Amino acid sequence: MTTDDQEENRKSGFAYAAGLTLFASVVALGGIGWLFDRWLATAPWLLVAGLVLGAVVGFYQFIRLTSRLSD
């Protein structure tokens, strides 16, 4: 395996991790919001808050991880 192949594998690994992190944070925080909505009977407000917070956290992590691609 050449150095170029190793570098390409490293960059594709960061790209997959960034996408997965974005998806997982939205799903996890949306799920937590949904559970709190059911527990506190505040539907759909905590679900919406969880989805928005998950998107914010996910995009922050996405940008942080993809910035490593240029290194």
Pairwise CA distance, residues 36 & 38, whole Å: 5
Intervals of the chain under pLDDT 50: none
pTM of the model: 0.85
Pairwise CA distance, residues 18 & 22, whole Å: 6
DSSP string for residues in 44-63: THHHHHHHHHHHHHHHHHHH
Note the pLDDT tens digit of each residue in 22-35. Answer: 999 999 999 999 99
Alpha helices in the chain (DSSP H): 3-40, 45-66
How far the first Cα of the chain sits from its last, in Å, is: 20
